[in-house]
Amino acid sequence: MSRADTAAYAGGPAAAGDPGVRRWFWTLGLFRSEVTTTFRRWRTLALLGVLAAVPVLVGIAVKIETGDGGSAGGGAGQGPAFIAQITNNGLFLVFTALAATLPFFLPMAVGVVAGDGIAGEASAGTLRYLLVAPAGRSRLLLAKYAATLAFCLVATLTVAVSALIVGALLFPLGELTTISGTRISLSEGLWRALLIALVVAASLIGLAALGLFVSTLTNSGIAAMATTVGLLIAVQILDTIPQLDALHPYLFSHHWLSFADLMREPVHWDDLLSNLRLQLIYAAVFGSAAWARFTAKDITA
C-alpha cells in the first residue's frame, strides 16, 4: 500500500507525458462519452426530430398560403415579422423558425436534457457507478453542463439547417432586406443567420444551468425535467405580466428575441449584450448552486 504502489496503478501504461495535459485530455474523454450517451438516446433524437419538423411545417404553410399569388400575412405571430418576407427570400425561414421555436420548443428540449443530467443517472442507478469509477463530482458536473451546452448548439443548428434547406427548396434565395431597410448580399445574410443561430444557442445557457441545478435536487429524472420545463413556462408567463415590470430584466427569457437586432443595419448591440450578460449570470449562480449541492450530496440512489 505504498505511495509508489498507488502511483503505479494510477499511471498504468500511459504514465508517460505531461500529467496536466493528460488529465485534460481525459476529462474531454468523459465529455465525449457524455455527448455520445446523450445523442444515442431515443428521446434526444425525437426532440431533434420535432425541432427539425417545425421549419418544414412553417415553410409548407407559407407556401400553401401564398400559392395563389397572395402574400403571407405577417405580424400576427410572436416575435419579429420575418414571416412576411419568406416568399421573397427562403433565408427568412431560418429567422422565422428560430423565432418560432425559441419561446418554447428549443428551451423545452434543453430543459429535458438538462433536467435529466444528474437526476436521470440517479434514477437509473448509473450515477453511483460513475462516481465510484471515479468520475469525480465536479468533473462529472462540468462534463454534464458542457454536454448540455453542446445539445443547445446542436438543437439550434438543427432548426436553422432544416429551415435553410426547406427555405431553399420552396422559395427563392437572393439579396435580402434588413429590418432597417438596407440591402445585404446572400453570403452576408448567411453569415448573419449563423451568428443568429449562435446567439439563440447562447440564449439557452442560463436555462441549461438552471435545469442542471434542479437535476441535483432530486433522484427522479422525470421530476427534474418536469420542474425545469415548469419553471420555463412560469418565467414566460411572468414576463408577460406588465405589473411585474420591475422583475422582467431578471427573467432569463426576457431578452431572448433580441437576436432580431442582428438583422438591423447597423446592428443594435444593447439588448444582445444584456441577454448574454444575463445568461452568464444565470450560469454562474445556478452553476455554483448545482456544484455546492452535488458535491455535498449523499448519493443514496
Partner 1 sequence: MSAGAGASPDAAPVIETRGLSKRYGGQLAVDRLDLSVPAGSVFGFLGPNGSGKTTTIRMLMGLIDPGAGTVRVLGHRMPDAARTVLPQVGALIEGPALYGHLSGRDNLVRYDSADPTADPRTRKARVAAALDRVGLTAAAGKRAKAYSLGMKQRLGLAAALLTPRRLLVLDEPTNGLDPQGMREIRTLVRELARDGTTVFLSSHLLDEIEQVCTHAAVMAKGRLVTQGPVEDLAATARGRLAVSTPDPGDAVRVLKENGVTGIAVESGDRVTGDPPPDGDLAELTAALVGAGVRVRGFGLERASLEDVFMQLTGEGFDVTG
Site for partner 1, rule CB under 8 A: 1, 5-6, 9-14, 23, 26-27, 29-30, 32-33, 37, 40-42, 124-126, 128-136, 139-140, 296, 298-300
Nine cell digits for residue 90: 427562403
Q: Is 206 helix (H, G, I), strand (E, B) or coil?
A: helix
CB nearer partner 1, residue 11 or residue 172: 11
Residue 213's nearest CA partner among 150, 297, 106, 123 is 297
Grid look-up 442560463 returns 206
CB nearer partner 1, residue 139 or residue 248: 139
Measured distance CA(287)–CA(97) in Å, rounded: 30
8-state DSSP, 134:
T
What's the closest the beta carbon of residue 243 comes to partner 1, in angstroms? 43
What's the closest the beta carbon of residue 296 comes to partner 1, in angstroms? 8
CB nearer partner 1, residue 134 or residue 172: 134
What's the closest the beta carbon of residue 36 comes to partner 1, in angstroms? 8
Rg value, the chain, Cα: 22
Task: Kindly list the distances between the CA atom of residue 288 and the CA atoms of 37, 41, 43, 207, 294, in Å, as whole numbers in the listed order.
Answer: 25, 28, 28, 14, 10
CB nearer partner 1, residue 11 or residue 230: 11
What's the closest the beta carbon of residue 30 comes to partner 1, in angstroms? 6
What's the closest the beta carbon of residue 123 comes to partner 1, in angstroms? 10
State phi, psi for 251 to the nearest 5 degrees. -85, 135
Name every residue whose Cβ is closer than 8 Å to that of residue 210 and which is 6 or more positions away in sequence: 114, 228, 231, 252, 282, 286
CB nearer partner 1, residue 190 or residue 299: 299
What's the closest the beta carbon of residue 139 comes to partner 1, in angstroms? 7
CB nearer partner 1, residue 26 or residue 269: 26
